Amino acid sequence: MAITTASETLNPRTWLYPTPRGLYCEPGDFYIDPAFAVPRAVITHGHGDHARPGHRKALATPETLAIMRTRFQDMPDTEQQALKYGESVRIGEVEVGFAPAGHILGSAQAVLAYKGQRIVVSGDYKRRPDPTCLPFEPVPCDVFITEATFALPVFHHPSDAGEIGKLLRSVDTFPERTHLVGVYALGKCQRVIRLLRDAGYDKRIWLHGGLMSLCRLYQEHGIDLGDVAPVSEAILETFKGAIVLCPPSAIADRWSRRFADPIAAVCSGWMNVRARARQRGAELPLIISDHADWPELTQTLKDVGAPWVWVTHGREEALVHYARGIGIDAEALHLSGRDEEDS
C-alpha cells in the first residue's frame, strides 16, 4: 500500500485535474493524452483519441512514438522524447514513468509521483494475454485513474481462442464466401492476425490498404504476422473462402463489392451486446476486445490497492458504484474527446 503522510494531507485533485484541453498535471506543466495540441504532452498509447498531432513536445514509449510518426507524417514539428517501460524522467516537479498497459503495442500506464504521492493514469488497458504486447503490470498507487469502456457486469469477454474458432468454423461452413473481418487498424488488426496464426491458420490473410502501414510497423517490432498482402495486389484472386481484414467502415463501403457473397464479421467488445452487433450490421459478431471487461476492471482495482479511484472513458457510474461498495473513494472524472468506438 502506497499511502504516505503526504497522501493523507495532499489533495491529489490540486495537482492533476481535467481541463477542456485534457487531463493537466500542474506541477509538471504537462497534459496527459490531451484532446488538442499543447506545449507538452505525455501520451499513453497510439490510438487516435489519445495520441494527436501538433504537440510541441511529446513524451511516450518508443513504440508509441513510432506509431505516431507512422500516422502523422513523421511529426517533424514535435520534439519527441522516448521513455522505456520501467524508466523515469523528471518533468518540472513531477517524476514520470511508464508501466505496460497490455492494450496495444507500446501502450503504457503513466506513473506520476509528486510530494510522495503516486497517481497512475492507466490509459486503456486489458488483463488477458495478447501476443502483440507486454501484459498489464499493476502498480501500487494512491490514485488509480481507470478507463471504464466495458464497465458493466454484462461485459464478460469470452476466450480469444473460442472467438477465433467461431470465425474458422464459419470459413469451413461457407467455403464459397469471403469472410470480411472488421478490425480497428491499430492493435486489433495485428492481434487478430496473430490469433489466427496461433490457431494454425497459415493461409495468406488479405488486408485492406489502410491496414498495411501499421502491420508493417508491427512486423518491424518483431511481431510475426505470416503471409499478409493488400487486396489491391491480388491477381486472378476470387477471394472465395478467404479471410480479408478491413476497417469496420469498409464492410458497408463500395470497396467490399469485389468479394464473393461476403459474410460481415466484426471484432469488438461491443459485439457482446446483440443490439450493438446488429447496429454494426455484423452477421458474425466476434467478441475480441483490447479493453478490460468487468471482471478484469474489478480485479484491477483490487490489485493496485489505491484508496482513491477516478473513473473515466465510458460507463463510469457502475464502476464508481462497485468501487465504493468495496470501500474505495471513487468518483467519475469527465474528460472530453474520448471516442467509444475504438474498441
Instruction: Note the residues at the interface with other proteins (CB under 8 A).
Output: 152-156, 158, 272-279, 282-285, 315, 317-318, 321-322, 325
Residue length of the chain = 343
Q: How far is the CB of 275 from other proteins (least distance, A)?
A: 4
Distance CA(251)–CA(235), nearest Å, equals 21
Q: How many helices (H) and strands (E) does the chain have?
A: 9, 19
Q: How far is the CB of 46 from other proteins (least distance, A)?
A: 26
Q: How far is the CB of 318 from other proteins (least distance, A)?
A: 5
Q: Which region, left, alpha or beta, applies to residue 239 given φ > 0 means left and ψ of -120 to 50 means alpha?
A: left
Q: How far is the CB of 246 from other proteins (least distance, A)?
A: 19
Nearer to other proteins, 61 or 268 (CB): 268
Nearer to other proteins, 121 or 282 (CB): 282
Nearer to other proteins, 282 or 304 (CB): 282
Nearer to other proteins, 2 or 264 (CB): 264
Cα 90 to chain centroid distance, Å, stands at 26
Cα–Cα separations (whole angstroms), residue 135 to 48, 225, 247, 326, 336 = 21, 19, 25, 26, 27
Nearer to other proteins, 86 or 158 (CB): 158
Where are the extended beta strands (E) located within the chain? 16-19, 22-25, 30-32, 40-42, 57-60, 79-82, 88-91, 94-100, 108-114, 117-121, 143-148, 179-182, 205-207, 228-230, 243-246, 263-267, 284-286, 308-314, 329-332
Q: How far is the CB of 249 from other proteins (least distance, A)?
A: 14
Nearer to other proteins, 89 or 252 (CB): 252
Q: How far is the CB of 294 from other proteins (least distance, A)?
A: 9
